[in-house]
Structure 1
């Protein structure tokens, strides 16, 4: 009888706990608010979170902008000398997976449930961009199992080749899903809900990724471009169609503007200033600010990777900050520009992937890159007529690589990836660099992966190579 009594009591307690849980769940629900996330809110949030980390401090200002020698540091110079803690590269990973991809996956689920293929197409494009940032920074990354975090708390890593191939499939699916005559979307802060522009962005991103794999898988890259042509697809076709997030006032200002409100430890790199001077490039006063104190050249770049004392000796008032265009609150975070699309088409033609005219497209790309900053037609004509700027068909990687590097100023992650892929411009390592005369060619995995996803982390390192800044990724052939 005692046992029976205990059993009855236990059952009653369990029922009571279950009932309490249900009551608590009801209490914690807002009767005036939706319990299901709305796709437009998720789209805005995912876009801004990705743009912020793409254009922000950890991945841009303290890393890739320094590696590819757009910017340099006059204080706290460790990053400019390639000295990092294991936690230095966590932001792109954590934001990419926990804020961007999670939200975009949810949009895809909601789009399927609501029968809105345009939300799905837009989310696939943005998710593909986010995954491309991750794989180009780290190499092998979780892709297949990253779609279901509830099931895979410690996701396996996929090889970079497999990630790229999957992204090309996703973007092809996005192109099919996007329908200008279909259901409307909201919350799009890139193209203001214009689906026709998203279709062009999707194709331009397909083209970019096709070139990423071109040195390894030329047949696949060529097929991607053939598919786009067969579909009758077009690419970003004007500066007005550039994929970008235009920032607003504080607290939604550009991350670069936000940083310069309180800090003064960044300067423009001597490497790019010297190149702009050598080409009499009219973008110099846009990319660089005049020195605070009068100097013979007005614009003075700082060498990358100096010791703290040596950097300070150059003088805070005698070296140039990045230009005011890039430090303005409303400065755009450019994702994929018209000029980049033209450079990519020029390269595809130079490789024999298409029958377009590489030289003509290259000239259009340079023109678009200058026109982006409202350079006058006369100044553009003078610039492109220089022998040092003209297209060299015998070394298309040099012509495209150097001009594309100039055009991508501010886009640290993209400029760094293109430098690794094209091997131009030929950069010299940081003055007091710590990598035995080398420049970083990848991010190290976040320290949290070693502690929380150790088995899969170790498998990734075994397949890819040492978890070091100098380990080349699959796409980086030379």
Structure 2
């Protein structure tokens, strides 16, 4: 991992003010290679450049170390997807709940300098000028996709007041952020549905770096599906709003994702950075939780997600997160476990799935479990989610959906103190007579498996539901701040903001509902499911 990186320059007041100083907008946005605004405007190049950056920084595609500290050493490990063989900071790090501020600000800084700033540039070139409403709508959906991840990391964020000329950038509460995001999706869906009704000849093609190729109707399906994801966050905290928004997604003319081709897939210039962090840096491996669940279930996706261990040929071997890892005096700190199972070839692609059809089926299954109108019954939607995931990864099984196999115990071949009995004790097979809690555990466990490798979303849903059950860490260095059983609930506000928008941060803390640390639950994180 590269330990130093250059701070991005700050314009006006702090990071968030960078795009609010609109008096010199054209100067700020001049092309560093010397192209004029008129030259860039040809073929929408001025807009497509902004759009491409937004796509690239939903999570950071390159360099690898940027992604590593933006997501890999937070959401990816806290979700139970992956674990590191590297005892960063002599085992005082995110994995042992001693949160590293120098890492955890990366997601925030990327979001505002690369996503929000470019969304505002697109707004200036489209909505402000009365041009290209479809491109503006697409940018709003991208903004929601990126920024719901940020509010789900930190809680209150600057969102609705981002472009304000005020010297203090006030934070929205998380409830306010979600309300505004639903409104942003509403506006985008109306615009793109109208365009789709008129035919699929699309002006957004050059600004669309997804597999959709500029299809208006597919972008509407994505927006509806994203609304469904956001609605589910509020299922307990604001159940009436959640039901309304979820059913609105299903009933809208173009509906939600139904086929493999409906999944929202970014076509990147870079191989998925998860693969590089595992196979180039050798800083990330399969987790003990993945081993316990996938091997226990004899899951056919196992060989797609991970490679067999070099250290233990023929075996899939994970690392338990938050244990004491050996710190070698010669600097070879990773040697003991770096040859456990690495991330597999299915992730060695220049594609990133931000929302899959499989996830949408599982969201609908949970909605049906809660009594919402999701267009089908719980079991059918649950099993459709499994089918969609299998299709996505090119696997099959005639017995998986009816399997009564259970996750297996974890055995650390190098240190028996890390061994643990299986904790996520549910089967794959649907049980009509089970409690709602058990049914939810099955749904979320399968959604967790299907969502790999996006650990950010998996960590968020784990915090919301408690599922799948994960092995607790054994080496807690948080000095009693963060519970080993409850895990990290959020990331504290970041240094760039405290330096450049201190009074704004104070508004965020006031709306947080607890101290600014990793133990404070977010607004939707209620600790109960029904």
* Contact in 2 for aligned 1:146/1:152 (Cα 8 Å): no
C-alpha offsets along residues 14-35 of structure 1, whole Å, 9 cap, x if unaligned?
Answer: xxxxxxxx9xx9xx97569637
Task: Give the Å deviation of 1:416.
Answer: 0.4
Residue in structure 2 matched with residue 455 of structure 1 by the alignment: 503
Specify whether residues 313 and 31 from structure 1 end up closer, same or farther in structure 2 by C-alpha distance, changes over 3 A only: closer
Shift of residue 258 of structure 1?
3.9
Verify: 1:140 aligned to 2:159, yes or no: no
Deviation at 1:318, TM superposition (A): 5.1
Partner of 2:20: none
The structure that is helix-richer by fraction is 1
Match in the other structure for 2:184: 170
How big is the shift at 1:172?
1.1
Aligned counterparts of 1:153 and 1:197: Cα–Cα separation in 2: 40
Match of 1:254 among 265, 268, 272: 272
For 1:473, the equivalent position in structure 2 comes to 522
The equivalent residue for 1:10 is none
What is the match of residue 158 of structure 1?
172
Residues 38-68 of structure 1: per-residue CA shift (max 9 Å, x gap): 2222112211122326992113211111111
Q: Which moved more, 1:181-190 or 1:423-432?
A: 181-190
For 2:8, the equivalent position in structure 1 comes to none
Q: Secondary structure at the match of 1:361?
A: helix
Shift of 1:203: 0.3
- 1:390 matches 2:440: no
Counterpart CA distance in 2 for 1:239 and 1:307 is: 41
| Equivalent of 2:297 in 279, 282, 305 | 279
Q: CA RMSD in A?
A: 2.6
Residue in 2 that maps onto 1:244: 265
Which residue is 2:24 aligned to?
Answer: none
1:440 Cα deviation after fit: 0.5
Q: Does 1:201 align with 2:205?
A: no
Say if 1:135 and 1:160, in contact at 8 Å, map to a contact too: yes
Cα deviation, residue 298, structure 1: 1.2
Partner of 1:336 in structure 2? 355
What's the counterpart of residue 14 of structure 2?
none
Aligned runs of 1:63-462 on 2, under 5 Å?
63-77=74-88, 78-112=93-127, 113-148=129-164, 151-178=165-192, 179-180=195-196, 181=199, 184-185=203-204, 186-190=206-210, 191-248=212-269, 252-260=270-278, 262-295=280-313, 298-309=315-326, 315-316=336-337, 319-326=340-347, 328=348, 330-354=349-373, 356-376=376-396, 379=397, 381-387=398-404, 388-392=427-431, 394-395=435-436, 396-434=439-477, 435-437=482-484, 438-462=486-510
Whole-angstrom CA distance in 2 between matches of 1:131 and 1:436? 27
TM-score, normalised by the number of residues in structure 1: 0.86
Count residues with an aligned counterpart.
442
Equivalent residue of 2:255, what SS?
coil
Q: Quote the offset at 1:456 in angstroms.
A: 2.1
Deviates more, 1:154-163 or 1:424-433: 424-433
Alpha-carbon distance between aligned partners in 2 of 1:183 and 1:114, rounded to the nearest angstrom: 17
In the TM superposition, residue 313 of structure 1 has moved relative to its aligned partner by 9.2
Aligned-partner SS, 1:167: helix
Contact 2:361 2:384 in 1 (8 A): yes
Residue 126 of structure 2: SS of its match in structure 1?
helix
1:436 deviates by 4.1
Cα distance between partner residues in 2 of 1:354 and 1:106: 39
Say whether the 8 Å CA contact 1:116–1:183 is kept in structure 2. Answer: no
5+ residue gaps, structure 1, are 1-21
TM-score by length of 2: 0.78
Q: Which whole-Å deviations, capped at 9, do the CAs of 1:356-406 have from their partners, x for residues lacking one?
A: 311100100011112211003xx1x31111131123452332111111111
Mapped to 1, the partners of 2:312 and 2:287 lie a distance apart of 19
CA change 1:451–1:477 in 2 (3 A) is same
Shift >4 Å, 4+ stretches: 28-33, 310-314
| Stretch deviating more after TM superposition (188-197 or 81-90) | 81-90
Using a 3 Å threshold, how does the CA distance of structure 1 residues 307 and 220 change in structure 2: closer, same or farther?
Answer: same
457-466 or 77-86, which moves further after superposition?
77-86
3-state SS in 2 of match to 1:216: coil
Q: Which has the larger radius of gyration?
A: 1
Corresponding residue SS for 1:38: helix
SS in 2 for 1:145: coil
After superposition, where does 1:37-52 map in structure 2 within 5 Å? 38-52=46-60
C-alpha separation in 1, matches of 2:172 and 2:153:
14
C-alpha contact 2:279 2:342 (8 A) present in aligned 1: no
8 Å Cα contact 1:67-1:80 kept in structure 2: yes
**Deviation readout 1:112-145 (Å, 9 max, x if unpaired):** 2253221021111111112201110000111111
